[in-house]
Structure 1
Amino acid sequence: MPSLAISEFNIVCTVLGGFVLAFGLVSFFVKERLYLSEALIALLMGVALGPYGAHVIRPLSYTRDNSEESLDSINLAFSRLVLGVQLVLAGVQLPKKYLFHEWKSLSILLGPVMTIMWLVSGTIIYGLIPGLTYVQSLAIGACITPTDPILSNTIVKGKFADKHIPVPLQRIIIAESGANDGLGYPFLFLALYIYRYAFLSDRAGYAVELFFTETVLYTIILSVVYGGVIGWLAKDLLHWASERRLVDRESFLVFAIALALFIVGSCGMIGTDDVLACFIAGNTFTLDDWFRLETLDDSLQPTIDMLLNITIFLWFGAVAPWSDFGTTPEIPVGRLLGAVIVILLLRRPPIILLLHKYIPRIGNLREAAFAGYFGPIGVSAIFYLYVTLEFLRQVEKLPLDESQAKGLQTMITATRLVVWLSVIASVIVHGITVPVIKLGNAIPLSISRSVSRMTDNLPGFGSFVSPESSRRRNSVSTLPIPESGLMGQRVDVSDISGPTSIPAPVARVNGDAERGKTLSWDNNLERGRERAQMEL
């Protein structure tokens, strides 16, 4: 006799599939009309369905022993997988030899900018979170220093990005977010080694030695070499197979994703930085631009990207320690929230604004403000959180005195709460920024139109507008915007005679609408050149 089988596997498949189906039905409206990120929607849905909501998703039930440590291992593995795939795709979508051509911009962003972000984050945490030493605070700050490639993709893709963000700025944001994820390792382990060997064991020299040999040489440099070699071999092998017609289209499209899985697994086995290796491999894989141009109009990679985004942020909404934010006596919720707010305000924008003149791909102050503000904290921070917790669990096994053990427990608690709340705040703040911008632009325009209608109907105002001029004005405003001849131009209205030659968007030469239209044309032109190159 048939019976219900309400197993955890069936529940997870039902919830994930149902949410993807429901979101898919309104995805265009949500992302291109409301300008809300899929990460924000998925996070909220995870909260609603998780242990603090409907209790449909029960993360602890998916572990072998219902322990927090096992759940942390799942979170670390899931973050590694998603980051690996996303970073290979991020590397693939950049033009050929991009890292070589943009070395100056990237050296500033990955050197002084990233270092200042780390120091600022650590200093804020040290000043606002009680019970931490400065070195402990720097370790926590290292977790939230890298900008997230997954949330960055939601910012630099879509109709808003095509209209308002220049393609060079989009690409430098993608490249920075991909590279600095792997380069978070030196900042994190420098602080962790100093804490472990200098403060707890009085072996500062060994901490420095271990940092340079294990972290810099083995973890970072070996990852760069390994990712470059694997990416190069994959490129040549795919060329060879394609020229001999040995590979079908489906396998061709999925090749980059399989490359990511291979690097994540192999780097995990040898203990190197799989995150950095994936990004380097993606760039090397498209060093000649062949694969990128061949897959420019295919939708498989964006589809995988969307599924991973939805899945991991749905999971994050369910596993985040929501109840701990206001119930941990050692860390008052006011100080915790204040630290996160100050981090979002001061971690990145000031240093980008200060150094933007030395970054060639950030052309002006407005682009610097955008690049500084949109430095989201996301999956990479969760990845480093669980790397840190894994390290600190090994430290717990050492013979520690009472004060050292208490300080260690404070650090573990603070790391978990600060990083999780920073990620949640970033997803929310950066997820609603574009709708707020659009609303802020729409309200003054709506008020202006209302005032204009009112004044037209008042005696002494409407009489100045003749029926003939009104007809001319209406005919001008309905003229189509030319698709050629105005690329990047700024038209002086005083030099144009006759109402029929002034398109309304061009007449608003100093307005955001005309600037956005011109920028959209410029972005489309650059993408059109890429497609023409692919056809040739």
Structure 2
Amino acid sequence: MVSLLVKEKLYINEVVLGTGFGIIIGPYVANVFTPREWGTLQNTITLEVMRIVLATGLFAVGVELPCAYMKEHARSLLIMVVPTMAFGWVVVAGVTQALFPQLNYISSLCIAACLTPTDPVTCAAITRGKFATKHVPVNIRRILSAESAANDGLAYPFLAISIYLTVETSVRVAIGKWFLVGWLYQVILGTVLGAILGLLFSKLMRISHNKGFIDRESYVAQYLALSIFTIGIASTIGADDLLAAFAAGSAISWDGHFNVQTEDDVFSSVIDYVLNCGCFIYIGAWLPFDAYNDPILGITPWRLLLLVIAILVLRRIPPLLALYKFVPEIASWKEALFSGHFGPMGVSAVFVSALALTRLPTPEHPPANQAQYLAATIQPIVSFVVLGSILVHGLSIPFFNIGRGVHSRTTSLTMTWTSRTRVTVPDWVLWARRAPDIVESTADEDVEQGSAKTPTGSNEPAVETGIPAVAVTFDDVPGDAETIVTRRHSLGMDDPSPELVQVEAINNHDGPANLDSGAPDDNQIKNVRFPSAQ
């Protein structure tokens, strides 16, 4: 009932709200929903709930990226993912061992492996929404989404080497299994399997569409059906199911046909939103608050708090500040600092920690050996860091917005970070839905000549702009707004950001209409145009 107020005015997303609600209904407050009292199956249930939510989110990230994005930005992703994950893994393990001396370094590496991946579900709440759309460059949003999806699957090798070194008696055997099973079988096979399934279903759906065998609703249903089908096959054969889901999503939208068929459909967003809310309600009720102060295991609140602070500062920011010059999508150290800060830990960390418990022995109390001690401490430590990350990253946007309001009403993260010209527009423009690209064959010629055609049957004079226009419908504007329709994809204008909208009242001889006071009337708006890419 107040979701729009909370999300678009206060900038508080479903991650924070869901976790808070889960804590309220959980065992420490209302005691209505208690996942940890489900006996021996609770870890298995937690693992599978996180798996489904992650797979659906990763598949959606792959679909929503532009066509062939992974191919064109492979170098940047490789630089952002591998060195950053390796650095964070080693550093977090060192900090963990220093704060919890009963853990050896190998066990600390296992805990660090759970905290290494960036959570795509929490990251989506940051890279989407009104604030991100208005103030974060689209290239940063896309590279963060792609990175969060890619490094989730790559958490498997980091966890595998730690587990093998913990449970195997021989280092040689552990490294051999890590290379053969962790890399060749899980990572490479999972990626190839997902890509093949995605391409196969993309071609099958295109054929079915051409023959009239499939409708729009069935296309949208693939967001859920194909992602679960992919992780089912990958999990059955023991491959990396998360990488498989992301690869399938990227492959199925490789040629753009799937994106066109599901354009402007809200069903996938609703499914994603419902799953995310349910998942974080589960996490909130699952958090083991009583385990955050256990002197026998050496776990105390102040040590956990120091660990959270150290992770937020050291895990991602130093490597991205050192490597951002090799990533074309990151233009300055400010963008590198922003990208380093927004590396949240959430669903993926809970998933990896639950996966680790399936490969560790059941701990006694007190633990009899290092493997049991790791099994007893991994989820209390990881869950506290997840809680800290949810609070810090989930509330960063509201604090950024407050800071911007105090400093300047016009300051923007992207004003000085990009070479594009920004035009300030009223908030209602952000809800304008872009219509499908309907073009005439002469659209490009009109643009080249520096003019845009008026709509068919319109008596208005042509607008001499040299800027291609995009058809837009206005939900919040009374009356029927006239629009100019031309093609943008062939001009290199894929998915222009709403903050680049330029509104003109070509029917007003006194100049552009003043729209800052609220929604304009139907006599003011004549077209909405996006500046062409340079």
For this structure pair, what is the TM-score category when the shorter chain's length is used for normalisation? 0.7 to 0.9
Q: What is the deviation of 1:315?
A: 0.7
The percentage of aligned residue pairs carrying the same residue is: 36
Question: 1:268 — aligned with what?
Answer: 235
Q: Give CA deviations for 1:172-221 in whole Å, capped at 9, x if unaligned.
A: 11100001000011111111111222xxx2x1111111111111111111
> Of residues 248, 261, 264 in structure 2, which corresponds to 1:294?
261
Describe how 1:379-398 pairs up with structure 2 within 5 A: 379-393=347-361
Contact 2:367–2:376 at 8 Å: present in 1 too? no
Inter-partner Cα distance in structure 1 for 2:273 and 2:21: 15
Gaps of 5+ in 1: 1-24, 447-477, 488-517
Indicate whether 1:253 and 2:220 are aligned. Answer: yes
Contact 2:99–2:303 at 8 Å: present in 1 too? yes
Distance 1:437 1:403, change over 3 A: closer
CA RMSD of aligned residues (A): 2.8
Question: 1:411 — aligned with what?
Answer: 374
Contact 2:501–2:529 at 8 Å: present in 1 too? no
Question: 1:344 — aligned with what?
Answer: 312
Secondary structure of the residue aligned to 1:76 is helix
Indicate whether 1:173 and 2:144 are aligned. Answer: yes
Describe how 1:198-347 pairs up with structure 2 within 5 A: 201=169, 203-329=170-296, 330-347=298-315
Gaps of 5+ in 2: 410-423, 430-462, 468-495, 504-527
Inter-partner Cα distance in structure 2 for 1:78 and 1:479: 41
User: Which residue identity lines up with residue 153 of structure 2 in the other structure?
Assistant: G
Distance 1:519 1:236, change over 3 A: closer
Contact 2:89–2:113 at 8 Å: present in 1 too? yes
Inter-partner Cα distance in structure 1 for 2:274 and 2:499: 30
Contact 1:164–1:519 at 8 Å: present in 2 too? no
Question: 2:34 — aligned with what?
Answer: 58
Secondary structure of the residue aligned to 1:405 is coil
> Of residues 5, 15, 18 in structure 2, which corresponds to 1:39?
15
Question: 1:135 — aligned with what?
Answer: 106
Contact 1:164–1:520 at 8 Å: present in 2 too? no
Q: What is the deviation of 1:98?
A: 0.7
User: Which residue identity lines up with residue 380 of structure 2 in the other structure?
Assistant: L
Question: 1:510 — aligned with what?
Answer: none
Inter-partner Cα distance in structure 1 for 2:126 and 2:93: 26
Inter-partner Cα distance in structure 2 for 1:143 and 1:441: 34
User: Which residue identity lines up with residue 93 of structure 2 in the other structure?
Assistant: G
Secondary structure of the residue aligned to 2:348 is helix
Secondary structure of the residue aligned to 2:359 is helix
Q: Give CA deviations for 1:63-117 in whole Å, capped at 9, x if unaligned.
A: 4xxx2x3101100010111111111111000011111100110110122111111
Between 49-58 and 86-95, report the one with greater CA deviation: 49-58
Q: Give CA deviations for 1:36-58 in whole Å, capped at 9, x if unaligned.
A: 11110010011011111111113
Inter-partner Cα distance in structure 2 for 1:419 and 1:479: 42
Inter-partner Cα distance in structure 1 for 2:502 and 2:357: 45
Secondary structure of the residue aligned to 1:161 is helix
Q: Give CA deviations for 1:134-190 in whole Å, capped at 9, x if unaligned.
A: 111011101110001000100011110111111111111110000100001111111
> Of residues 70, 74, 82 in structure 1, which corresponds to 2:53?
82
Number of residues of Structure 1 aligned to a counterpart in Structure 2: 429
Question: 1:373 — aligned with what?
Answer: 341
Q: What is the deviation of 1:403?
A: 11
Secondary structure of the residue aligned to 2:361 is helix
> Of residues 521, 524, 528 in structure 1, which corresponds to 2:499?
521
Q: What is the deviation of 1:26?
A: 1.1
Computing the radius of gyration from Cα coordinates, the structure with the larger value is 1
User: Which residue identity lines up with residue 358 of structure 1 in the other structure?
Assistant: F
Q: What is the deviation of 1:322?
A: 1.1
Q: What is the deviation of 1:414?
A: 2.3
Question: 1:70 — aligned with what?
Answer: 41
Q: Give CA deviations for 1:346-381 in whole Å, capped at 9, x if unaligned.
A: 111111111111111111112111100000001010
Contact 1:129–1:336 at 8 Å: present in 2 too? no
Q: What is the deviation of 1:328?
A: 4.3
Inter-partner Cα distance in structure 2 for 1:415 and 1:189: 15
Q: What is the deviation of 1:523?
A: 7.8
Contact 1:130–1:331 at 8 Å: present in 2 too? no
Inter-partner Cα distance in structure 1 for 2:184 and 2:425: 63
Q: What is the deviation of 1:291?
A: 1.1
Distance 1:44 1:479, change over 3 A: closer
User: Which residue identity lines up with residue 35 of structure 2 in the other structure?
Assistant: P
Distance 1:480 1:184, change over 3 A: closer
Secondary structure of the residue aligned to 1:253 is helix
Question: 1:4 — aligned with what?
Answer: none
Q: What is the deviation of 1:522?
A: 3.2
Indicate whether 1:357 and 2:347 are aligned. Answer: no
Inter-partner Cα distance in structure 2 for 1:352 and 1:60: 37
Q: Detail structure 1 runs of 4+ shifted over 6 Å in the superposition.
A: 478-481, 483-487
Secondary structure of the residue aligned to 2:151 is helix
Q: What is the deviation of 1:343?
A: 0.7
Of structures 1 and 2, the one with the larger relative CO (CA 8 A, separation 6+) is 1
Q: Give CA deviations for 1:387-443 in whole Å, capped at 9, x if unaligned.
A: 11111127x79xxxx998332232122211111011111111011111111112223
